[in-house]
Structure 1
Amino acid sequence: MKSKQRLSDLRVMSDDQLEQEALGLKKEQFNLRFQRATGQLQDTTRVRIVRRDIARAKTIATERAKKKV
């Protein structure tokens, strides 16, 4: 199980790496939702952590996009 992403770790990633990280987190979020719906979810706090990690990645991507303009 991965712990939450540090902001500094996300900031050093390239745009492509950041996009891949967000995609992986979205897949994990889908799987967690599916596990919750079927009653198989063990670690309920992981849902919150993944959701916040996605938000961190999106925030950094948005910041970079605004700097480019």
Structure 2
Amino acid sequence: MERIAAMSQQMASAAEQQSHVAEDISRQITHIATASDQSLEMASKTSERGKDLEKIATDLHNLTERFNA
């Protein structure tokens, strides 16, 4: 009977450890998801700024073409 109780205690301890590991993994996944969302937002803003710069460059080019004509 003592052996069964000891095995039961070991299983309970292992289950608790696994629960802690699962919680930690869940937190890490949430952190990664948040970081990914932030990266996506930053990439989108960078793309928008690139398009803005492209338009400005085109406008400047067109202005300089007027003076060269």
Q: Normalising by the residue count of structure 1, what TM-score does the alignment of the two structures yield? A: 0.39
Higher RCO by CA contacts (8 Å cutoff, separation 6 or greater): 1
Q: Which has the higher helix share?
A: 2
Q: Normalising by the residue count of structure 2, what TM-score does the alignment of the two structures yield? A: 0.39
> Computing the radius of gyration over CA atoms, which structure comes out larger, 1 or 2?
2
